[in-house]
């Protein structure tokens, strides 16, 4: 029996409201311990971002990201750096095989060939770009440079990926103080707390466009 009129409209409304909202499919790329991937995946799982991390690409099977992702049921694909000539193609193939729509670099230390993903790829950097970015500026080196420069403020930047390291337009920046007596590790810990808020915020902003 087909309902008509107000009853039919009410039924259709209930069915529409019951349907789960579609979530964007995110592929993560990681080189290190995977804290950034885990933070992003957990934010998605809590419903803070209308997305889900559907695969994580790493270059070594023993990367710390591997265990963190598998604990969360996220498939991990190992793409070996050699042969170098086919590396970018194999990364693209791994992302496409999992239906990825958005790419998030999460402590990924290789240059990412953005061609097929331009306007759909984000990176996070542990400083207030454009300062303290570029080739060779990663991890503790960034915080050491901030302290050596005598800055009173640091933070993190989520930005669009382009053809240069740490160069694309910012999407979100969050700031934190540099405190007297800070060590690079103390500053890194403070910046990472901002990263944990910044990446989900940026991803939520772009997938909702």
Catalytic residues: 125
8 Å CB contact between 104 and 28: yes
146 token code pair: 């901030």
**Burial track 57-78 (b if 16+ CB lie within 10 A, e otherwise):** bbbeeebbbbebbeebebebbe
Query: Which residue do the tokens 């209308």 mark?
Result: 50
Backbone torsions φ then ψ of 188, nearest 5 degrees: -60, -45
- Positive/negative CA dihedral, 61, 65, 69, 74: negative
Residue 117 phi, psi (nearest 5): -125, 15
Spacing of C-alpha 87 from chain mean position: 20
């Amino acid at each position: 029996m087909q309902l008509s009129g107000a009853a039919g409209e009410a039924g259709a409304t209930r069915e529409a409201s019951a349907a789960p909202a579609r979530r964007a499919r995110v592929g993560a790329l990681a080189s290190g311990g995977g804290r950034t991937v885990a933070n992003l995946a957990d934010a998605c799982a809590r419903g803070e971002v209308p997305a889900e991390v559907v695969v994580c690409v790493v270059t070594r099977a023993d990367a710390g990201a591997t265990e963190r992702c598998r604990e969360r049921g996220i498939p991990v694909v190992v793409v070996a750096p050699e042969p170098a000539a086919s590396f970018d193609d194999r990364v693209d193939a791994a992302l496409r095989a999992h239906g990825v729509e958005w790419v998030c670099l999460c402590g990924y230390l290789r240059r990412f060939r953005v061609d097929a993903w331009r306007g759909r790829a984000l990176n996070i950097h542990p400083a207030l770009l454009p300062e303290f970015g570029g080739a060779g500026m990663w991890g503790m080196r960034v915080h050491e440079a901030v302290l050596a420069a005598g800055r009173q403020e640091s933070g993190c930047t989520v930005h669009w990926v382009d053809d240069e390291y740490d160069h694309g337009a910012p999407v979100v920046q969050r700031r934190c103080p540099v405190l007297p007596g800070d060590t690079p590790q103390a500053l890194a810990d403070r910046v990472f707390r901002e990263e944990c808020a910044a990446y989900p915020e940026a991803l939520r902003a772009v997938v909702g466009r």
